[in-house]
Amino acid sequence: MSHTAHNNSEKMIFGFWVYIMTDCILFASLFATYGVLHNNTFGNVSGHDIFNLPFVLKETLILLTSSFTCGLAMLAAYKGWVKGVLGWLLATFLLGASFLVLELTEFTHLINDGHGYQVSAFLSSFFTLVGTHGLHILAGLTTILILMIFIIRRGLTPEVVRNLSMFSLFWHFLDIVWIFIFTMVYLMGAL
């Protein structure tokens, strides 16, 4: 790798970490907002009234499993096994898409039952926090498709493996954020 390419790679990795840190700040702000507003129900429903813990547990298990398959994709990449990487990325994509469908299903049910984001500060902060996480999942799914195209066209070049590594960190970051959402929003809200 040339000196210029090495410098560009270092800049890209640094930029990725700056992005992750800004996402940490974004989610910390959303969690703080939710923490302040979760009791502001305006006489309407609270989390205890509307959260379906078995349904959310299913979402959680699906997302955590996708983190595992993403890790297996990385192991396959380090071994140079193209078909394995593509297979595990496809599994990660399908699990992530399933999670997103379940999240949208939950939102649809809440809105159809009259519990939309405009009803109370609690619901506004809930939809904002969980919806922002869902948008990040959607961005991750798009990234998986792009990575799969790059792998099919270019193989497992050092650049592709580096990008796959950064994606993997991003995906694991989203799982960590979801664990906080599951704990702080759903479990504590259902009490």
Q: Tell me what the pLDDT averaged over the chain comes to.
A: 95
Q: What are phi and psi of 97, to 5 degrees?
A: -65, -40
For the cut 80, the answer to whether the pLDDT of residue 37 exceeds it is yes
Instruction: Output the pTM of the full model.
Output: 0.94
pLDDT band at residue 180 using 50, 70 and 90 as cut-offs? very high
pLDDT score recorded for residue 4: 61
> How many angstroms separate the CA atoms of 96 and 27, rounded?
19
Q: Which residues contact 172 (CB under 8 A, 6 or more apart)?
A: 67, 70, 71
Mean pLDDT of 103-124: 96
Contact 154, 144 (CB under 8 A): no
Alpha-carbon distance of 17 to 23, in angstroms, equals: 10
List the chain domain ranges: 3-190
Fold of the domain built from segment(s) 3-190: Four Helix Bundle (Hemerythrin (Met), subunit A) (1.20.120)
- Give the end-to-end CA distance of the chain in Å, rounded to a whole number: 56
Q: What is the mean pLDDT of residues 114-142?
A: 97
Query: For residue range 57-68, what is the model confidence (pLDDT) as tens digits?
Result: 999 999 999 999
